[in-house]
Structure 1
């Protein structure tokens, strides 16, 4: 990272930060809620560790083993804790010295496990990391009701998240004039039961800044704040809500929320399949959000728009949810047994992304065995995996195929000419005349072919993948055989595609299907459309709960369910179950309208509360689960950067288009359009809590690190934006006092206090004597203003929303 060091005065840095150094803003942001942390650890165990233990250890060290060797059981938390004949398996205080790791690494001459041969290094590394992180092993008494012959699905359907969502009667409250929306009644009732009172309504300027960031990701213009302050109509706030909901920037703000879930990327490693015009998917999401596409339609188009007669080629970018899935390198010189495992891992990733995003369920944990906690069988997993095994990633133009046929021919000709060009350029001497002739031919073909530059979306096509041997012997490599007909997968014993069980027909999850019958087979091609329809019909209540909870979490810092992608047994229980059910039921009743949901939340009295904490309330509800105050929230990196660009007057608000790298100092587009590289992530994004695009990300985990502070002090972004902001202030206003006032209105949506104004004036006027005695006062002022602007941009108040 290139550093542009510009020394800033410490007293001014501290003074600029003082207005917002409250106890709320100084919370350790790298602390992850316990429920979220434990759920993530258990999910990792179920997906990575238990299958490994099952495959390598359970034949000798489980309750089902014919003989338990060494008295050691590794299939339960109790067994792990107890250890075996040789002592404890895990040493919590010195994990690297744990006996389990010693025997796995063959460090002990007396005991080496497994006795038939040392495990591969990557498997030992997984188990080592697990032990170092505390050897999390879920308690067996948390598991679902299991019968001798499998899962009791009728019992499983009784779990709260699998129940139908219904509108709930409004609870009685004492403070009857406070609720502004239905949701307020439920929240107020819970507050009153705990002797809490709602906080006063926030001031109008604070409220508009909060609303603008939440709905558009940008701060309000000073002129909009002034107009709102002067608007005394009873529906003045409601008018602001409707204005911002109709803003094109609404779609950009909420598209980024969705792209985290969809593990969006613009680029991937050069040796993997190209992501094509990936930005078409991102732009489709923006458009869908702005148009308030019904969420059930939104789901269907992302999974199967190509199978829907009501949609056309212009909707194909929606398939980027699956089309941009991570894919792994397949070295076809290797035996097909290895390639089959790689392909099976890709199918698992798609099952995981789809079920966690739309259903909030960790179905991929059932790849190797029945889910240990939720009513999801191994057959359920392979029923879904067969859907993704019956389609593959490909590129398709966003126009009708018949219109694109001439383009295919033209591109084939151009490709041939370019190969010839490449070979000619290597000759000595270089045949310049021939090169110019071929270059002109290419130009003519490109310009004369209609639709030549039609974007090609990365989509799914109906072809099943089969891995077969390239020859008769295993050492002759592998071939990927794509076939037009769909396939049902065999159950893979312990997740191994080279050990096959019974064939499992493609279908939906048993627990979410009507209880009166077995799940119906999917017969329409791969089954993608039938899957999407099941998600929004059979599983409608769960699907609605999940998306309502996700959006709620973005407004209030945490969801009603604090594990937004796990609504199973290991997930958190809702803090307000009746409220979640009521909102989910009405979300469906209102035509799955996301904007209606947003509108209800931001019009609520709960949302409009002040964020100033009351000491007594903090003692009763320190985590603010009852929402007796609005949480103060730190801006995402995207909001923070965009707010800088907007305040300095440099933000390019053009919608859509290809991504632009953040390393380009002339990139003034919204951060939504910054290049996301799956295998070579931008260091700036990495250091500012951007999610890993290789996997589904249920929520941002905010951290506070020294590197972030150094970036704010010395990074090129703040340096350049401070210069631009200073230039704007000097151009807009004639006096330093007016410039300071303007800066505060631009950055904080408020005027400075007298103390803040005096601090700023004192710094700007106290430039000191130049060393050579020749620099003009104007030059000194021009140097002082960027420093002053830099301090304001890196202040806490600019990075938080109240």
Structure 2
């Protein structure tokens, strides 16, 4: 009886929910898709199509099944096999098979949907937002500060909730400052705002913070999570990667308010723009943040493919909030993406020149700081002293000018790395050469078609703890020997850190004619576990050489020019037409089992590439930010919303597919997307300004029983956002209030000390702690090693950035409290704050405690808190002794830095 009553009530609930809408017909998206997703797609979706029937794609749902007949006959539910199977009494024929059946209400909905024509509907996220959408009318319009508030208020009124009034000014400015620049305001800034009676006082604070150079540092952190930016390559060895210029590019882009469409195009295809600038090339490092495997014996082609597979998933997650990782192996289980869609999209990345090699070519080489001026000065000197017959004007970047000049004068150097017992790595500057490597009894490297006709000898700059022999051979590792060179050890095997003491040796070679395949073979009697030989460079020396015609001073300048090493940044670069790769579907995701060939394209459900343009990364990037793309603008505004309010309008920020959480305010999401990509011209600062000037954002965080019942997680914004600060914000705030923070911007990553026992690096990777000032730079500049990130970064929900992270889900654990109380960095800040309290002139200890509290919380403590602080101080002084005021103040400072009010916005 109870079971029948439950089914009856469920039927009434479902039917009444359908009839309560203006449209009494059954909606596929509202009523049917949730049933199919939950009950049917596991057997009839993208992974499995039992009986030849799938409910994932419209054409498949209405197509003939293995029986030869369609399972759904629009308008005729009695002739539809789907309905018959849903109602079948035989458990072997009833669907879902070996699972709980649909209840009567659900079956009746499916029947009604078929009777009404089985109208198929796209998922809401795949339909472009309506450009004519308007804010709703509301009853209490006086609360609304801008159009965002009207959307929020309309929903609150439907739920019989009322919003809060504006927060206290000191609290509001702290929230605003932490949100926009990631730093707390100064006491002076708070006082100015509190005492500013002008009607636009708040708006001027917003504009001040948006114009701050620290704005980009705060928002770059969000984007670097998406870009999976790190200072190391990942995998087993996880060695250093020089890619910090990309981080600086992101900071500058946010500070300059680079339109989001340009921001997108430059990262995905900046190298394909006409005459790309150096900054546009650096931007393409977005997809060079993929991991690279330097472990000996690995297959470079395998990990090149893995990088491309990861680039597909990241691109879709970042710009489309679509989960694509599973589509590597099979069609998507729930969303309308076929496996061929994945590999057609991967084809956009399959013809880039990177290939999982040690030096990570192609790189953009730049000179930083004083080195830039030195290079310019030496090049100018050399050009002034060139003989008339040698004069030429090198073009391109400063590094390209340097290389062209050196090569013109006979320095044909090629960067190399090292031989070890299982592999040899090489980077070639010349774009028309290829290097292969293989280990048999010895290590060897091959260079294709090297012209040796004017070469008299080959120079090597190397380091080796063991020494050995290098042979030069033609056409194979066993081919004619044209040169042999003994390389003595440069450092004892027990002291590998002294490898930096390079030596240079030259090998005379026999005369040859025409281009040859040149093999370098390294031989050693004993194969060791460690690296055997590192090559810094090798050089073909011509006979005669132009540089031989110049005096010693001139050649000293050439050597000085060579010795100034540039900063490499891995970038994207397309292969020339003659070296294009074909792209194939990988059967079951296995790169070794190639299926049919595919070509560059985008998923059909999301539109088409721009007409009349080559199908390449640039066309793909432009499609992402085109008006026809239904997702990009929605995804972007949802991300920025989540950063400020704690939850996205679509809570599953990483997924807007059919399994995502529904939008809390769908019309608001679409209105923001239309404004962002339209009237606001993709301006991030305009978007953020609109969000933070809304009354919804400015509310106090007070809560009552009705709000806790109807809006427990504040998804409806019945009160202001109150959020635990991120790992970066916590560290920066503690450094700021203790006056330790170093606000130096840009440059190589800073290396603060690891907690004792945590900074263990392997494979010769060294971690040299920065100087005192460098240790206190903002968290966005902290060195991030993927296999050993700073413990407190992970402790407070940061990631190691091995993969793209769309959403940091906040946790609350005892370990976090222990870290805030005991971590050496936080203890140092507490001691500095204690020194500030003690340094207050002509104040009593009680007044010093009040001053410390006000510095941390930006408002005076109330009487209850004063009593608590004084009691803590007195107890500490009693324990440590009357002459240990510094320790007592430090204990109080440590407690202040752990207040719930301090670690939340």
Gaps of 5+ in 2: 1-33, 54-64, 68-85, 100-105, 111-118, 355-360, 367-396, 418-459, 468-487, 505-535, 537-554, 756-771
Deviation at 1:680, TM superposition (A): 2.6
Structure 2 distance, partners of 1:250, 1:640, is 16
Q: After superposition, where does 1:613-762 map in structure 2 within 5 Å?
A: 613-663=703-753, 666=772, 667-735=775-843, 736-762=845-871
Native 8 Å contact 1:156 1:375 kept in 2: no
Structure 2 distance, partners of 1:460, 1:142, is 52
Q: 1:53 to 1:669 in 2, by over 3 A?
A: farther
Q: 1:414 to 1:498 in 2, by over 3 A?
A: closer
Q: Of 253, 256, 264, which aligns to 1:288? A: 253
Structure 2 distance, partners of 1:398, 1:164, is 43
1:349: which partner in 2?
310
2:595: which partner in 1?
501
Bigger RCO (CA 8 Å, 6+ sep):
1
Deviation string 1:594-616 (CA, Å, 9 cap, x unpaired) is 00000000001110001111221
Q: 1:414 to 1:257 in 2, by over 3 A?
A: closer
Deviation string 1:697-735 (CA, Å, 9 cap, x unpaired) is 111111122222222222212211111111122124442
CA-atom RMSD, angstroms? Answer: 4.3
Structure 2 distance, partners of 1:458, 1:357, is 21
SS in 2 for 1:633: coil
Structure 2 distance, partners of 1:731, 1:740, is 11
Deviation string 1:416-457 (CA, Å, 9 cap, x unpaired) is 4453899554379x9xxxx99979xx9977983289343211
Q: Does 1:426 align with 2:491?
A: yes
Q: 1:402 to 1:279 in 2, by over 3 A?
A: closer
Relative to structure 2, which stretch is displaced further, 656-665 or 186-195?
656-665
Gaps of 5+ in 1: 1-38, 59-63, 67-77, 92-138, 144-153, 465-482
Q: Does 1:381 align with 2:475?
A: no
1:563: which partner in 2?
652
Structure 1 distance, partners of 2:725, 2:556, is 49
Native 8 Å contact 2:312 2:345 kept in 1: yes
TM-score w.r.t. the length of structure 1 is: 0.72
2:160: which partner in 1?
195
Native 8 Å contact 1:161 1:567 kept in 2: no
Q: After superposition, where does 1:437-586 map in structure 2 within 5 Å?
A: 448-449=560-561, 452-463=564-575, 485-514=579-608, 523=614, 527-537=616-626, 539-586=628-675
Deviation string 1:757-792 (CA, Å, 9 cap, x unpaired) is 233234434556689xxx7x4x32122111111111
TM-score w.r.t. the length of structure 2 is: 0.64
Q: 1:410 to 1:687 in 2, by over 3 A?
A: farther
1:603: which partner in 2?
693
Structure 2 distance, partners of 1:182, 1:661, is 45
Q: Does 1:279 align with 2:244?
A: yes
Native 8 Å contact 1:382 1:504 kept in 2: yes
Q: After superposition, where does 1:249-260 map in structure 2 within 5 Å?
A: 249-260=214-225
Relative to structure 2, which stretch is displaced further, 571-580 or 615-624?
615-624
Structure 2 distance, partners of 1:140, 1:459, is 55
Deviation at 1:176, TM superposition (A): 1.4
Q: 1:285 to 1:501 in 2, by over 3 A?
A: same
1:789: which partner in 2?
893
Q: After superposition, where does 1:280-359 map in structure 2 within 5 Å?
A: 280-309=245-274, 311-328=276-293, 342-359=303-320
SS in 2 for 1:387: coil
SS in 1 for 2:596: strand
Whose strand proportion is higher, 1 or 2? 2
Structure ID, larger Rg: 2
Relative to structure 2, which stretch is displaced further, 614-623 or 603-612?
614-623
Structure 1 distance, partners of 2:109, 2:736, is 50
Q: Of 152, 155, 169, which aligns to 1:204? A: 169
Structure 2 distance, partners of 1:172, 1:501, is 56
Structure 2 distance, partners of 1:649, 1:520, is 56
Q: 1:258 to 1:768 in 2, by over 3 A?
A: closer
Q: 1:315 to 1:520 in 2, by over 3 A?
A: closer
SS in 1 for 2:697: coil
Q: 1:568 to 1:768 in 2, by over 3 A?
A: closer
Native 8 Å contact 1:556 1:631 kept in 2: yes
Q: After superposition, where does 1:36-75 map in structure 2 within 5 Å?
A: none
Q: After superposition, where does 1:21-40 map in structure 2 within 5 Å?
A: none
